[in-house]
Structure 1
């Protein structure tokens, strides 16, 4: 297959290398708003360079991968759909709720496949947990704990365009919560705080956040995030039920050390980034996109799925700012 890629920043260059390591990719064409950066990555990886997105989409690509900066996602997704090219878009598909809704309507009105990049859906641990939860293996699940704790903060320039910690970071937890449970969130209560660099507060954001979510079957989910988890990159989910409990991320890479005497677990090494933590999932995700582009499977994560996760993040931001519980029915949807 001939795959086009827009954006060669941190995640874009990572996707480019991943794509070139997959058997189904015969040719990779890249473009970037910064021609110098784009050409450097193309030359380093042996990919083809395209001067702009229009030229890339007109060059006979079988699939289009969007890994540019968040503000460009909506425009690029519209271009991919207009060109009739199966499109993969990193989350979020847009920076605002209104535009996400518009894109969900657009995607629903076309036959062009769109796959949104929530890679945790392709992690074997989360898939196993979904099987256990939805198959009744744990009895009735009464509570879930989900965490996304980054080892170190992003650059200061990234924060004002990130959408805030709930939209940028916890949105992965909100999506995988829907995937694992098969349920919807009906209300949230969220808060946040800053104890690190002042640029978070200056951007109206927080460096640490927490929320209690109530699902439509009265399951309670406790979700947390921080930009300062010095022990390592820590992404986990625990499901607690009447007949048992199960966790994702409970292995030797766990970014913890025990206070109990004589306990050596976990042995390490710890993960340092989300790319390291989820490399197998990213490979599986892009392989799934190839199957979508070939027409061999339905989209495993739609724009509407992205919208529902975004709505939860929107509700959490509203709750944090107003200091009150927020019901999801207050947040606009399709």
Structure 2
């Protein structure tokens, strides 16, 4: 199959390398807003570069992978859907809830699969945690703790267009909580700190945040995130139930030191280095995610992360950001789009009418 890649930056280069190794991919076509960057990446991997991103839509693609700048996601995905081309898109699909809702509706109407890049769903630990919850191994789930700790802040130029800590970073935790527990959040309360670099305050963002969520079955979830975890990249999901507890993301490279310190000569110094970032920590998950997309394009599996899930995660992130700004509990229903509310009301009325008949 012929796969197009829109965006030759850091994550684009990582995905391009994986796609070139995929047995089903006969040709990879790379395009970027910077043609030189696309040419350099394509030459390094033995792929083909195009002069402009627009050229991808006349290249007879079987599938499109979108790793361009966030602001370009929505237009690229909508063009692919209109052209009947299956799409994989790094989150977010769009920069706001209404845009995400429109893409969801267009993809659903056209019957074109759009897979969203929430790679934690493909991590072995997170997948095992989901299976354990579904099988009832933990009994009644009562507490979930999730964290996303980056070792250092992103470049200052990234912050203004990122959407903020909750929409850019914590949204991964929120999607994971939904995916692993199989439950929906009812309300959230969140707070943040902007005592670090001036670039966060200048953009109205925070460098550290925390949120408490209540799920529809009474489970309580806490999420913590920061841009300043110098010990290393630390992403974990901990689940506690009436029968058992487990954790995903805890291994020898997790940058957390037990105390008191191990005695000299105990071998503690032989620990491997901590994870340096998301590409390191989730390398296998990224490969599995793209493998799932290739299977989706080939018609051999269903969509493992459709726009509907991206929209629900966006609602939670938006509620967290609103709670942080207004310092109050926010019901998730408050942030749902008017169109979504109207569509849900119509569906509910149709269901009631069906029962009456």
Aligned to 1:36: 36
More helix per residue: 1 or 2?
A: 2
Greater CA drift, 266-275 or 164-173: 266-275
Shift of 1:2: 1.4
Aligned to 1:48: 48
Matches of 1:135 and 1:324, distance apart in 2:
35
2:327 counterpart (318, 323, 326): 323
Shift of 1:265: 9.4
Residue 109 of structure 1 aligns to a residue whose secondary structure is helix
Q: Please say if residues 74 and 103 of structure 2, whose CA atoms lie closer than 8 Å, have aligned partners that are also in contact.
A: yes
What pairs with 1:54-203 in structure 2 (closer than 5 Å)? 54-203=54-203
Aligned to 1:274: 278
Find the structure with the greater CA-based Rg.
2
Q: Please say if residues 138 and 242 of structure 1, whose CA atoms lie closer than 8 Å, have aligned partners that are also in contact.
A: yes
Shift of 1:267: 2.4
1:151-177 CA deviation, whole Å, 9 max, x = no partner?
Answer: 111000000000000000010011111
Aligned to 1:217: 217
Q: Please say if residues 139 and 243 of structure 1, whose CA atoms lie closer than 8 Å, have aligned partners that are also in contact.
A: yes
Matches of 1:82 and 1:49, distance apart in 2:
23
Matches of 1:127 and 1:70, distance apart in 2:
27
Q: Please say if residues 257 and 266 of structure 1, whose CA atoms lie closer than 8 Å, have aligned partners that are also in contact.
A: no
Q: Please say if residues 169 and 225 of structure 2, whose CA atoms lie closer than 8 Å, have aligned partners that are also in contact.
A: yes
Matches of 2:156 and 2:70, distance apart in 1:
15
Shift of 1:52: 2.5
Matches of 2:111 and 2:51, distance apart in 1:
28
Shift of 1:266: 9.2
**Structure 1: 5+ residue stretches without partners:** none
Q: Please say if residues 82 and 110 of structure 2, whose CA atoms lie closer than 8 Å, have aligned partners that are also in contact.
A: no
Greater CA drift, 195-204 or 214-223: 195-204
Q: Please say if residues 33 and 53 of structure 2, whose CA atoms lie closer than 8 Å, have aligned partners that are also in contact.
A: no
Residue 110 of structure 2 aligns to a residue whose secondary structure is coil
Greater CA drift, 196-205 or 265-274: 265-274
2:295 counterpart (269, 291, 307): 291
Aligned to 2:315: 311
Matches of 1:262 and 1:203, distance apart in 2:
42
TM-score (norm 2): 0.91
Greater CA drift, 194-203 or 117-126: 194-203
Shift of 1:17: 1.2
Greater CA drift, 27-36 or 56-65: 56-65
Q: Please say if residues 35 and 50 of structure 2, whose CA atoms lie closer than 8 Å, have aligned partners that are also in contact.
A: no
Shift of 1:99: 0.8
Shift of 1:261: 4.2
Matches of 2:128 and 2:179, distance apart in 1:
11
Tell me how large the CA RMSD over aligned residues is.
Answer: 1.3
Aligned to 1:232: 232
Shift of 1:6: 0.1
> Would the alpha carbon gap of residues 266 and 102 (structure 1) be closer, same or farther in structure 2, given more than 3 Å must change?
farther
Shift of 1:269: 2.0
Is 1:301 matched with 2:297? no
Aligned to 1:11: 11
Shift of 1:209: 0.3
TM-score (norm 1): 0.97
Shift of 1:31: 0.4
Matches of 2:103 and 2:85, distance apart in 1:
16
